Amino acid sequence: MSVPFTEDELIARLFTPLAGPGGLALRDDAALISPPPGTQIVATTDAIVAGVHFFADDPPRCVARKALRTNLSDLAAKGADPHGFLLTLALPAEVSAQWLEDFAAALGEDCRAYAIDLLGGDTVRTPGPAMISITALGLAPTGKMVPRTGARPGDALYVSGTIGDAAIGLKLRADAAFLSVLPTRARNELVSRYLEPRPRNALAATMRAHASGGMDVSDGFIGDIAKMLAASGVSARINLADVPLSAAARAAIALDASLFDAALVGGDDYELLASVPAGSTAAFEAGAGAAHVDVSRVGWVVAGPAPPEFIGADGALRKFARGSFSHF
Amino acid sequence: MSVPFTEDELIARLFTPLAGPGGLALRDDAALISPPPGTQIVATTDAIVAGVHFFADDPPRCVARKALRTNLSDLAAKGADPHGFLLTLALPAEVSAQWLEDFAAALGEDCRAYAIDLLGGDTVRTPGPAMISITALGLAPTGKMVPRTGARPGDALYVSGTIGDAAIGLKLRADAAFLSVLPTRARNELVSRYLEPRPRNALAATMRAHASGGMDVSDGFIGDIAKMLAASGVSARINLADVPLSAAARAAIALDASLFDAALVGGDDYELLASVPAGSTAAFEAGAGAAHVDVSRVGWVVAGPAPPEFIGADGALRKFARGSFSHF
């Protein structure tokens, strides 16, 4: 074994500092969670595998952030505030002490930034690629979790931030020539959006106050919208011209028009999709503004259950052969 | 991709039937958990990797049981009753439909047997070995979780069931010649104990009612006792002649005396270790009897913090070079 720590040393040195009170200093077999009266626990699990969800040579700090933030994004979409998480770390023998230290350091920074504590976990050796699986627990006032099934005809559909940056960033990483044509700032922004999700936990309180339904956009905007509407038994009309794009994405699309579709179906956005009753749109927008999160109305929910209609800038219906990206 | 289902099909067909009410039919991004008033949530995570914690050709039903039951054992040790679990399934491309169906079927049987529901999870592809990580959530009355740190001088130390069967079973699997000498029934029993943990959830109520401290024996009896006593800041005198052995283990040890030490340090027991105040031993034993779980008193807690003393059948102190097994 060339893993540079024993499991106990690894835990004591790198991870115990991240433990919250419920983590019992990571010295017990289990964590203890006491939801405050009037709250429910919202639980979600997301795993990432080297060579599938990230590159084996991605910086360990980025890997840590991606592992935790994909889960934080699910909590935000449900209107839940981060509480704690359990970490499964499967490590190949060749992982270095430096890799682990950087991984744990970035995880600790995110614990502070997102107000979430490490509660426990398991560290195992694997003959395969590194894999990180996180179960995140959040808290929401009882009855206030935002369901995927809540969109109703007449609701407005909103998306936070900008769509497609990560998908274009991923394509750019594989195409060095194209990368060199794009201005440095745009390039860095797009690649960074792929490497490090920026979950919208700042929007959680606004989601639970005003959204009828929600999910996070992680597998592709087109496919995820279709998933949420199907779960709600409704349809929608979406204006693709209203899908928010960053200046960097616009710059890339100006050089290669096919990147627009890549942006729409590519995934790894970690933005929030929300259905908001017509009477609540002003309050939703005000809440988002107060939270310093941009939100854009991209369409309206209509009676279902037909698939949503995506309308191009020319007014014509667009079809997508493949609405989302699956790592499976 | 030769995985025989899409992720959505896999979930809908095999796993949605295992979902409890909090799992929201596995159609949302997260699960919702409402602990009854007066309870706390006890959370634990354990992962198993093909080629490390199980053999890649182990029956999928056994793999499912091992993945869930290692977690159930931790809940039992804490005096918590199973509530729900989140499942991360990392699958190599070559996994067959039959493997997945068998895996899910056995998981469903265990959900019923142990009164635990699937709450959610994530299914990912891996270029490496199959890996299953489970986060199990249990419920315990507020303040009643049995801590690893609770052993006090004067407490009796108990262990449930029998020790060493799985460790001997694992050795037997690797030694076909020896296996053939042992009577079939003993052989099957020992190998079965390795393949399928039998967690002591029936003892959970007795643990929380009467044990001052507890943990499960999963990494080796000698090492796990030392861990619990160190966490409690105490020591102990353990009589090795009192360590409970099954008839099958005795038969194997009669053929190869070195298997006694293997039994003591080998791990995969998934029995419970409990410290019980002297005034509560009768009640603890009665509770275990009512739950149909054998418990054996193996020693007494004494003031610490010296390492525990292990006393052989000849009255002499025994030292163990390696008290426990680490998969890490």
Which amino acid appears at position B265 of this protein? V
Which amino acid appears at position A262 of this protein? A
How many angstroms separate the CA of residue B89 from the nearest CA in chain A? 9
Q: What is the CA A144 to chain-centroid distance, rounded?
A: 20
Is the CB of residue B173 less than 8 Å from the CB of residue B191?
Answer: yes
* Closest by Cβ to B51, choosing from A29, A127, A142: A127
Q: Which residues of B touch A71 (CB under 8 A)?
A: none
Give the pLDDT score at B325.
52
Is the CB of residue B140 less than 8 Å from the CB of residue B96?
Answer: no
Q: Which residues of A touch B1 (CB under 8 A)?
A: 328
Instruction: From residue B209, give the alpha-carbon distance in Å to each of A257, A300, B83, B291.
Output: 68, 56, 19, 13
How many angstroms separate the CA of residue A140 from the nearest CA in chain B? 9
Instruction: Give CA–CA dist A218/A221, Å, rounded.
Output: 8
Q: Which residues of A touch B128 (CB under 8 A)?
A: 49, 126-129, 131
* Cβ-defined contact of B74 to A30 (cutoff 8 Å): yes
Q: Which residues of A touch B86 (CB under 8 A)?
A: 43-45, 135
One digit per residue, the tens of pLDDT, for chain B of length 328 reads 345 567 777 788 888 888 878 777 778 889 999 999 999 999 999 999 999 999 989 999 999 999 999 999 999 999 999 999 999 999 999 899 899 999 999 999 999 999 999 999 999 999 999 999 999 999 999 999 999 999 999 999 999 999 999 999 998 888 777 767 888 899 999 999 999 999 999 999 999 999 999 999 999 999 999 999 999 999 999 999 999 999 999 999 999 999 999 999 999 999 999 999 999 999 999 999 999 999 999 999 999 888 999 999 999 999 887 655 554 4
* Cβ-defined contact of A122 to B326 (cutoff 8 Å): no
* Cβ-defined contact of B125 to A49 (cutoff 8 Å): yes
* Cβ-defined contact of B123 to A29 (cutoff 8 Å): no
Probe site for chain B from A126, A132, A215, A270 (most B CB atoms < 10 A): A126
How many angstroms separate the CA of residue B128 from the nearest CA in chain A? 4
How many angstroms separate the CA of residue A19 from the nearest CA in chain B? 14
* CB–CB contacts below 8 A, A to B: 208
Nearest-by-CA chain A residue for B124? A328
**DSSP codes, B68-110:** HHHHHHHHHHTT-EEEEEEEEEEE-TT--HHHHHHHHHHHHHH
* Closest by Cβ to B328, choosing from A27, A123, A149: A123
* Closest by Cβ to B47, choosing from A44, A88, A142: A88
Query: Per-residue pLDDT tens for B93-115?
Result: 989 989 999 999 999 999 999 99
* Cβ-defined contact of B49 to A78 (cutoff 8 Å): no
Closest to B221 (Cα-Cα) out of B204, B236, B206, B205 = B236
H or E element at residue A132: strand A131-141
How many angstroms separate the CA of residue A187 from the nearest CA in chain B? 29
Residue ranges in chain A modelled with pLDDT below 50: 1-2, 327-328
Give the pLDDT score at A179.
67
* Cβ-defined contact of A47 to B119 (cutoff 8 Å): no
* Cβ-defined contact of B215 to A119 (cutoff 8 Å): no
Instruction: Give CA–CA dist A326/A320, Å, rounded.
Output: 15
Give the number of residues written for chain B: 328
Nearest-by-CA chain B residue for A9? B328
Pick the CATH number of B7-141 from 3.30.1330.10, 3.30.200.20, 3.60.130.10, 2.60.40.10: 3.30.1330.10
The overall average pLDDT reported for chain B is 92
Which residues are CB-neighbours of A250 under 8 A, at least 6 positions away?
none
Instruction: From residue A184, give the alpha-carbon distance in Å to each of A252, A256, B37.
Output: 11, 17, 56
Q: Do B7-141 and B156-318 fold alike per CATH?
A: no
Nearest-by-CA chain B residue for A125? B328
Instruction: Give CA–CA dist A199/A160, Å, rounded.
Output: 10
* Cβ-defined contact of A327 to B125 (cutoff 8 Å): yes
Q: What is the pTM of this model?
A: 0.93
Give the pLDDT score at B328.
47
Q: Which residues of B touch A10 (CB under 8 A)?
A: 328
Probe site for chain B from A10, A144, A328 (most B CB atoms < 10 A): A328
Q: Which residues of B touch A88 (CB under 8 A)?
A: 45, 47, 88, 133
**Encoded tokens for B183:** 């009577």
How many angstroms separate the CA of residue B67 from the nearest CA in chain A? 13
Give the pLDDT score at A1.
35
Q: Where are the domains of chain B?
A: 7-141, 156-318
Closest to A224 (Cα-Cα) out of A214, A234, A212, A239 = A214
How many angstroms separate the CA of residue A9 from the nearest CA in chain B? 11
Q: Which residues of B touch A87 (CB under 8 A)?
A: 45
* Cβ-defined contact of A125 to B86 (cutoff 8 Å): no
Probe site for chain A from B122, B149, B271, B327 (most A CB atoms < 10 A): B122
Strand order in the sheet with A81-91: A117-125, A81-91, A131-141, A39-49, B31-33
- To the question of domain A156-318 being in CATH 3.30.565.10, the answer is no
How many angstroms separate the CA of residue B180 from the nearest CA in chain A? 31
* Closest by Cβ to B49, choosing from A74, A124, A328: A124
* Cβ-defined contact of B78 to A121 (cutoff 8 Å): no
How many angstroms separate the CA of residue B291 from the nearest CA in chain A? 23
The 10 Å Cβ neighbour count of residue A17 is 14
Nearest-by-CA chain B residue for A10? B328
Helix, strand, coil percentages (3-state) for chain A, rounded to 5, are 40, 25, 35
* Cβ-defined contact of B135 to A75 (cutoff 8 Å): no
Give the pLDDT score at A2.
44
* Cβ-defined contact of B6 to A40 (cutoff 8 Å): no
